[in-house]
Structure 1
């Protein structure tokens, strides 16, 4: 009987060892770099500057300087903010945008911000505070950066587009350490498939929680919002196109300038994956900024 029990146990152990459930799962395939990732390869900022320190974390601005820049210049600044649902991403993702505008004579900057995490306690409100702090830092250090403080353009993709809009719209959301005498409101906004509606019909409602309306751009449009251009695809199911359309309508009703460039059938992030669409976006943005007198 003793030998029979041993044999049964041995057989069970052998079968478990051969079971697919116990086998090591294959590693997930890495996501292939898209057009914008490929363009970032080899790009390197002129310098990296800390703009804010929270606890032990220093947040950085990745600065691309134009040729011939010197302290005391009055160059326009193009600040770009990466997406990733507020939970991921790095400044490198948007290097190609910053580098493009540096080539056109601006100071291009790709910024870092705290990432949303229940574990660390970082909220979307904290992400918003960082974006507003970054604009204040740029304006407060405009002379040494060679920037005209009245020519600051803020742009971003997806959640980064939300944070760009946040610099203009969410007046009560500020870091305690910020100098509130310096305005975080930019002179123009360039929003790429942005999170623009944080209701349940939009994106981010669950992450923000019951205070979602405080951070919903479409619910905060008012007269005096900076001139804005939005790039959005009608096939976007992540940040639905309806939100971008509603935002533009609210902006026009409030007497603000707002252009909506529509990509028929374009899914979320469409212009980041296709170099031709990316270049078309930059060309249209250039025209928009020239009309505003922000780009020569």
Structure 2
């Protein structure tokens, strides 16, 4: 674990534990990243798209001494929540950590599935692909290297991260299709990866589920991918992650699956030590690719 995360966890322990009793100790214990996320604020929020009258933002964490003339790698994340809930702040601890290591960290806002408003999982996917296209197209303004985009997420957010590389036929009508939304690296935490009835999301997506099933859409020339998944996950079963990794390798792609024995869905966000370990494993993977020193 690098010093930036160690410092963050120490500050949280010394400065916040005494306040837990008054703000809801049980919640903080069960979801220890929430108090950390509550203390973090982005450098700025940039609108990447307006859909249905709603502005969708990139919550950007710039690294120390960042200049727009820089060409930094970017660590982009999509929060989870079954496509129906959640918000960018949930992944602030992830993107802030990598900003402290010198990358530009970005937590992406996207539309949430809402049957009454006619918003589907396909719209969530379109927003994800629009966001990466925007980042790549505006890289020079954001101080980002467009050839070093790391796209990550947790649960349904990891599904959206994968969608930026996999679902080439799902695009917003307003997108410039000449700009690739495919990332240079994928990092998938406890991902929705199989949308069949054996996985997660089948009923939410409906008859077209296979179009949005990562494990059913693996091809050649996909980005290097890291998967962290608990073997005890009963929401997005480990079998899907294992099959996806196998499909990736058989297609000639670079893919590493790291399992956590007995880990439940989202295991790494419920324990600060496991969170730190997950970030450390992510750093090692990025270091092997030459993105982190």
- The answer to whether TM tops 0.5 is yes
Structure 2 partner of 1:39:
36
Q: Which residue of 2 aligns with 1:246?
A: 243
Could you tell me how far apart the structure 1 residues matched to 2:99 and 2:283 are? 13
Q: Partner of 2:105: helix, strand, or coil?
A: strand
Secondary structure at the counterpart of residue 130 of structure 1: helix
Distance 2:68 2:172 in 1: 28
| Structure ID, larger Rg | 1
Deviation per CA, 1:132-184: give whole Å up to 9, x if none: 00000000100010000000000000000000000000000000101111100
CA RMSD across the alignment: 1.2
Q: Given the alignment, which residue of 244, 255, 270 partners 2:252?
A: 255
Question: Can you list the C-alpha shifts for 1:163-221, whole angstroms capped at 9, x where unaligned?
Answer: 00000000000001011111000000000000000000000000000000000000010
Residue aligning to 2:180: 183
Q: Secondary structure at the match of 1:32?
A: helix
Alignment partner, residue 6 of structure 1: none
Residue 131 of structure 1 aligns to a residue in which SS? helix
Q: What residue ranges of structure 2 are gaps of 5+ in the alignment?
A: 1-23
1:32: Cα distance to partner? 1.4
Structure 1 stretches of 4+ with a deviation exceeding 2 A read: none
Count of matched residue positions in the alignment of Structure 1 and Structure 2: 268
Distance in structure 2 (CA, Å) of the matches to 1:184 and 1:118: 26
Give the match for residue 282 of structure 2. Answer: 285
Q: In structure 2, how many angstroms separate the alpha carbons of the residues matched to 1:80 and 1:100? A: 12
- Cα deviation digits, residues 217-237 of structure 1 (max 9, x gap): 000101111000101011100
Question: Which of 215, 220, 234 lines up with 1:218 in the alignment?
Answer: 215
Write the deviation string for residues 68-127 of structure 1: whole angstroms up to 9, x where unpaired: 111121100000110000000000000001100100000000010000011111000000
Task: Choose which of 66, 71, 92 in structure 2 pairs with 1:69.
Answer: 66
